[in-house]
């Protein structure tokens, strides 16, 4: 991980540190010089790092050297962070002294306020001076250590590390079109699809030649599939000329062009235009098939350079076949339509491959083979490598040995399987590498959530922004980058926007990443370790500890060394439901965790957090969710000045948050959803200037002069970005009180949720007026309104033109839906539990009687519609007079692709216009009447839906 960590550290050294040094420190110590020195050495080392990283695999002395370097880098990061924390602390203390007496504006002007006695001031000064000396000497110490490391690099011959590591990059083996058919198993379907694409006439797009990309992670068998098609008899006769080019890294257009025209290998004085000319001549008028195997570049200009002459010279029906492991290559070639995604190979075929290469006799080691193949997780290359490994092993014992070892520790397998992944890995920027490697600290098959993972990276300080770019934005870029290079799979996408929101990592990629982190990331399952004591060495920095049911944490001792941990997750191998004795966290243990950045104690049944947590000054991310017995948090938690994220979701018993929460000046995300006992949030929250998310903001209404509680008017002080859910509590006397929230100022808010479940309002019991004053900014894209007790919608809703997602839930009085069909950008609408609505018709579309003759469109962008739990709903009709199936100027829901209707037992009709929508998915559940009427073929409603490809209709949930 060293190159990543050093890149991160260097970025920090050049940015933040100089700011500190320019302050008072400058005169006190020689710190500036020390840091300059340190940074200079580090830069020198960085130049050889790429080489060192790659050589460590073989060379133990390089590995030891790297470990030391790594260690110093981590320590330096900690020292700088400690320093930074002190600065934050001073800011908080400054605020504390001033209190809230001074209005914020005046406070800015006044430089220093001595509201404390001079002696106290002196004491503070003295403490600061001591602290700085300590920091100074720590930096000096680390600097000296780095000198030693640097000396080693310069003077020891063993190293001779290469300045531009290029030569050391493992070279991908050249491929050719020859294939040994006896080693190929499966892929019949893919082959058929591919050959059809190659041979079908008239499939050229408007740009001439059809480009067919084959996409998949390293080792999935892209090249093999291509070879199959290339050598197919029909393909051979169909094309006049077939050419195989092994592209790899870097994309060299001259080399490729020469390969196509089968000229001599490139020489230094080749002129591009000359080479392209001769390429054109060689294929002139011919129907060609060109294979570009293993393309990495996403430089569209280079690609165009080749493509244009190919189109101009080739005959109709020519094809270009491209294999790649990167999504962006496909995008840049504008060939997404014809892409073939190569997925995992079925276990059956993996076994065939394994058998072939292991030379196993029938009935021999049958059970063991199956288990081994399971480990390959559908990766043909892995099956091949494992098979080859077993080839000369002839005893059952030898086979069991391999099965029970960590398979990938076997060098033979590792080299073969990881090689292709390694190529993708070396292609990443150092900081992106860090982010990828961090994923090894999550268990296999973990479902990563985009935002959550980015928060983790942020907590480890991997996202150092350059220039003005926001750290979060950088995180999104990194995430997309890793997705594009096939390090992630099983992508979960937002059904409407298509953005990837979650993903998993292939088991073998996980093994690979784990092998790269060496022992920095570790997952220990005490249940499967048994009584053996697994040694937790100093190198471990990210630890997930799975404990047996009811087992206490292992104490910190010679075996368990916690002091370098930067991430600690504790969980149980299986859940502890209904356990009587709560889990205790030993405070001595907590005190060991001095370097910790991320602490995850969710769902382990703690009822108390030791106050010592306040000493873990580097903490940035705490997850205490799902601890149902947790009633309060220690006040000391407010001394974590670096804390970004505090997750407390579903801590059902949590009664309050500490009043001093205002001290968490770095806090960005606060999650308190499902904390049902939480009656209010502390007022101090309004002072948190960095706060961007409160997932469920409990806001107290009423004349309750409880100054401790966050009130509606306080929302104004917050500048939340992203999302806000307001849960109103208490008794509203006068809706004008709510106006103070001034939500319309929050330009950056794109999601707003309002929940009225716990509010009382005058006698009228209607929440209409309240809702009217909570008008959001018109940038708002997403809106949920729950438990609204009025017959109509808020007056601003129909003028919020930018709304794309709407959920209406539990509108108890509402009989007629608002005219949502008029919202021009609405993409997804969810209606749940509107118990009085009997009919959906014209008013829902937003049709005025006068307007109907005009050509118009209702719900013009709606893609997804969910109607759930509407016990009174009987009819859904068009509501437009004279609307016919054949001809109409009126278009209704012209983009609708998914419709779900459930728990509407009385509903009997579907509207006619459905047959004109491009619906792809229809789900009808628990709608008894509709179930009968939608019967395939004979049902009355069937003609309206018969065109839909995926229909699921069931009489009940089961």
Ligand X SMILES: *[C@@H]1O[C@H](CO)[C@@H](O)[C@H](O)[C@H]1NC(C)=O
Binding site for ligand X (CB under 6 A): 452, 569, 571, 600, 602-603, 623, 647
Asked whether 539 and 520 are in contact (CB, 8 A), the reply is yes
**Residue 520 beta carbon to ligand X: minimum distance, rounded to whole angstroms:** 18
Strands 749-761 and 782-786: parallel
Q: What is the DSSP string of 391-403?
A: TT--SHHHHHHHH
**Residue 535 beta carbon to ligand X: minimum distance, rounded to whole angstroms:** 23
Give dist(CA 919, CA 895) in Å, integer: 8
Asked whether 730 and 707 are in contact (CB, 8 A), the reply is no
Which tokens in the block code for residue 316? 């109709």
- Closer to ligand X by CB, 297 or 602: give it: 602
Give dist(CA 483, CA 288) in Å, integer: 33
- Closer to ligand X by CB, 571 or 673: give it: 571
- Closer to ligand X by CB, 352 or 600: give it: 600
- Closer to ligand X by CB, 559 or 574: give it: 574
- Closer to ligand X by CB, 74 or 457: give it: 457
Phi and psi torsions of 328, nearest 5°: -70, -25
Q: Across the beta sheet with 448-449, what order do the strands follow? A: 448-449, 500-504, 489-493
The beta strands (E) that lie in 418-566 are given as 448-449, 489-493, 500-504, 521-525, 542-547
Q: Across the beta sheet with 340-341, what order do the strands follow? A: 241-246, 288-293, 319-324, 210-215, 340-341
Give dist(CA 307, CA 301) in Å, integer: 10
- Closer to ligand X by CB, 132 or 668: give it: 668
Residues 6+ apart with CB under 8 A from 478: 431, 432, 435, 454, 457, 463
- Closer to ligand X by CB, 386 or 599: give it: 599
Neighbouring CB atoms inside 10 A of 928's CB total: 14
* Chain centre distance of CA 772: 36
Q: What is the DSSP string of 178-218?
A: ---GGG----HHHHHHHHHHHH-TT---TTSSEEEEEE--T
* Chain centre distance of CA 238: 45
- Closer to ligand X by CB, 448 or 756: give it: 448
- Closer to ligand X by CB, 464 or 567: give it: 567
Angle of the 380-390 helix axis to the 411-426 helix axis, nearest 10: 150
- Closer to ligand X by CB, 224 or 544: give it: 544
| Closest alpha carbon to 790 in 769, 808, 819, 760 | 769
Three-class secondary structure of residue 357 per DSSP: helix
As a whole number of Å, the end-to-end CA separation of the chain is 50
Give dist(CA 617, CA 643) in Å, integer: 9
Q: Count Cα atoms within 13 angstroms, Cβ side, for 533.
A: 11
Give dist(CA 146, CA 154) in Å, integer: 12
Q: Look-up: residue for tokens 């995300």? A: 669
- Closer to ligand X by CB, 669 or 768: give it: 669
- Closer to ligand X by CB, 326 or 569: give it: 569
| Closest alpha carbon to 348 in 329, 369, 332 | 369
Strands 500-504 and 448-449: antiparallel
**Residue 457 beta carbon to ligand X: minimum distance, rounded to whole angstroms:** 12
**Residue 621 beta carbon to ligand X: minimum distance, rounded to whole angstroms:** 7
- Closer to ligand X by CB, 68 or 571: give it: 571
Residues 6+ apart with CB under 8 A from 31: 21, 25, 135, 136, 139
- Closer to ligand X by CB, 65 or 644: give it: 644
> Shortest Cβ contact with ligand X: which residue?
571
- Closer to ligand X by CB, 224 or 600: give it: 600
DSSP-derived secondary structure letter, 445: T
Strands 805-809 and 898-902: unpaired
Neighbouring CB atoms inside 10 A of 595's CB total: 21
| Closest alpha carbon to 224 in 413, 389, 336, 353 | 353
**Residue 447 beta carbon to ligand X: minimum distance, rounded to whole angstroms:** 9
Give dist(CA 843, CA 946) in Å, integer: 27
**Residue 948 beta carbon to ligand X: minimum distance, rounded to whole angstroms:** 37
Asked whether 642 and 85 are in contact (CB, 8 A), the reply is yes
Strands 288-293 and 319-324: parallel
Three-class secondary structure of residue 700 per DSSP: strand
**Residue 446 beta carbon to ligand X: minimum distance, rounded to whole angstroms:** 8
**Residue 571 beta carbon to ligand X: minimum distance, rounded to whole angstroms:** 3
Give dist(CA 644, CA 622) in Å, integer: 9
Give dist(CA 664, CA 656) in Å, integer: 16
**Residue 441 beta carbon to ligand X: minimum distance, rounded to whole angstroms:** 10
**Residue 616 beta carbon to ligand X: minimum distance, rounded to whole angstroms:** 17
Strands 805-809 and 782-786: parallel
| Cross-strand pairs, 493 | 500
- Closer to ligand X by CB, 1 or 624: give it: 624
**Residue 782 beta carbon to ligand X: minimum distance, rounded to whole angstroms:** 23
| Closest alpha carbon to 891 in 857, 862, 854, 917 | 857
- Closer to ligand X by CB, 298 or 647: give it: 647
- Closer to ligand X by CB, 73 or 460: give it: 460
């Amino acid at each position: 991980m060293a190159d990543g960590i050093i890149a991160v550290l260097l970025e920090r050294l050049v940015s933040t540190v100089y700011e500190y040094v320019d302050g008072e420190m400058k005169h006190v110590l020689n710190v500036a010089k020390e840091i300059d020195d340190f940074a200079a050495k580090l830069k020198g080392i960085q130049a050889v790092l790429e080489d060192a990283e790659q050589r460590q695999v073989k060379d133990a002395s390089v590995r030891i050297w790297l470990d030391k370097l790594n260690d110093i880098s981590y320590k330096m990061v900690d020292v700088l962070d400690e320093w930074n924390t002190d600065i934050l602390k001073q800011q908080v203390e400054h605020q504390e002294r001033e209190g809230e007496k001074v209005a914020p504006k005046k406070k800015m002007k006044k430089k220093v306020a001595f509201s404390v006695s001079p002696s106290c001031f002196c004491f503070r000064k003295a403490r600061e001076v001591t602290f700085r000396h300590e920091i100074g000497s720590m930096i000096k110490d680390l600097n000296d250590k780095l000198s030693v490391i640097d000396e080693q690099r310069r003077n020891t011959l063993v190293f001779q590390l290469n300045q531009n590591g290029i030569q050391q990059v493992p070279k991908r083996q050249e491929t050719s079109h020859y294939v040994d058919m006896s080693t190929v198993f499966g892929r019949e379907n893919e082959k058929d699809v591919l050959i059809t694409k190659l041979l079908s006439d008239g499939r050229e797009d408007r740009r001439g030649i059809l480009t067919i990309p084959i996409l998949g992670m390293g080792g999935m068998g892209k090249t093999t599939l291509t070879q199959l098609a290339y050598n197919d008899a029909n393909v051979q006769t169909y094309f006049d000329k077939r050419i195989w080019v092994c592209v790899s890294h870097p994309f060299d257009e001259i080399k490729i062009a020469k390969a196509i025209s089968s000229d001599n290998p490139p020489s230094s004085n080749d002129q591009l235009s000359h080479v392209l000319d001769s390429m054109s001549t060689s294929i002139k008028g011919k129907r060609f098939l060109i294979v570009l195997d293993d393309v990495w570049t996403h430089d569209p200009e280079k690609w165009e350079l080749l493509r244009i002459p190919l189109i101009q010279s080739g005959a109709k029906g020519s094809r270009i076949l491209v294999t790649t492991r990167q999504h962006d290559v496909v995008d840049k070639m504008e060939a997404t339509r014809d892409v073939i995604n190569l997925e995992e190979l079925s276990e059956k075929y993996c076994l065939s491959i394994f058998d072939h290469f292991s030379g196993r006799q029938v009935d021999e080691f049958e059970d063991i083979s199956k288990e081994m193949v399971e480990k390959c997780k559908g990766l043909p290359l892995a099956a091949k490598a494992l098979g080859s490994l077993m080839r000369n092993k002839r005893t059952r014992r030898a086979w069991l040995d391999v099965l029970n070892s960590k398979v990938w520790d076997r060098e033979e397998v590792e080299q073969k399987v990881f090689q292709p992944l390694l190529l993708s890995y070396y292609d990443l920027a150092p900081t992106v590498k860090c982010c990828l490697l961090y994923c090894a600290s999550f268990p296999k098959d973990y479902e990563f959530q985009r935002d959550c993972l980015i928060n983790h990276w942020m907590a480890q300080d991997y996202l150092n922004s350059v220039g003005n770019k926001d750290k979060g934005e950088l995180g999104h870029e990194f995430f997309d980058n890793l997705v594009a290079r096939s390090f992630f799979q099983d992508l979960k996408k937002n059904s409407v926007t298509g953005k990837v929101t979650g993903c998993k990592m292939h088991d073998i990629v996980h093994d690979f990443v784990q092998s790269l982190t060496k022992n920095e990331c570790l997952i220990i399952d005490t249940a499967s370790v048994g009584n053996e004591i697994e040694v937790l060495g100093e190198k471990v920095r990210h630890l997930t500890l799975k404990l047996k049911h009811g087992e206490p944490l292992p104490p910190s001792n010679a075996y368990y060394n916690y002091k370098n941990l930067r991430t600690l997750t504790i969980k149980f191998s299986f859940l502890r439901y209904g356990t009587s004795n709560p889990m205790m966290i030993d405070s001595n243990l907590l005190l060991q965790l001095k370097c910790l950045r991320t602490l995850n104690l969710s769902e382990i049944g703690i009822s108390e957090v030791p106050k010592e947590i306040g000493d873990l000054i580097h903490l940035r991310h705490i997850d205490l969710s799902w601890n149902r017995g947790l009633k309060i948090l220690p006040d000391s938690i407010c001394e974590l000045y670096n804390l970004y994220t505090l997750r407390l979701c579903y801590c059902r018993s949590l009664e309050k948050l500490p009043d001093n929460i205002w001290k968490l000046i770095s806090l960005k995300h606060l999650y308190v959803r499902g904390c049902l006992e939480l009656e209010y949030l502390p007022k101090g929250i309004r002072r948190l200037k960095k706060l961007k998310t409160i997932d469920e903001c409990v806001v107290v209404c009423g004349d309750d002069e409880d100054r401790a509680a966050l009130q509606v008017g306080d929302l104004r002080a917050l500048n939340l970005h992203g999302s806000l859910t307001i849960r109103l509590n208490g008794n509203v006397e006068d809706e004008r009180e709510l106006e103070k929230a001034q939500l319309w100022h929050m330009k950056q808010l794109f999601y707003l949720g309002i929940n009225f479940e716990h509010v009382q309002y005058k006698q009228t019991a209607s929440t209409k007026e309240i809702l009217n004053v909570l008008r959001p900014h018109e940038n708002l894209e997403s809106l949920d309104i729950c438990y609204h007790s009025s017959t109509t919608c808020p007056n601003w809703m129909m003028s919020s033109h930018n709304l794309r997602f709407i959920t209406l839930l539990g509108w108890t009085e509402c009989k007629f839906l608002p005219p949502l069909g008029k919202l021009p950008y609405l993409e997804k609408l969810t209606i749940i539990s509107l118990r009085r609505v009997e009919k959906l018709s014209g008013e829902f579309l937003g049709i005025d009687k006068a307007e109907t003759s005009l050509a118009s469109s209702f719900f013009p962008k709606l893609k997804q519609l969910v109607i759930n739990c509407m016990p009174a709903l009987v009819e859904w009709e068009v509501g437009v007079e004279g609307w016919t199936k054949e001809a109409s100027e009126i278009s209704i829901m012209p983009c609708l692709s998914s419709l779900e209707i459930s728990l509407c037992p009385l509903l009997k009709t579907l509207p006619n216009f459905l047959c004109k929508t491009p619906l792809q998915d229809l789900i009808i559940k628990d709608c008894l009447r509709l179930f009968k009427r939608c019967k395939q073929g004979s049902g009355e409603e069937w003609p309206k839906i018969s065109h839909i490809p995926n229909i699921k209709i069931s009489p009940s949930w089961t």
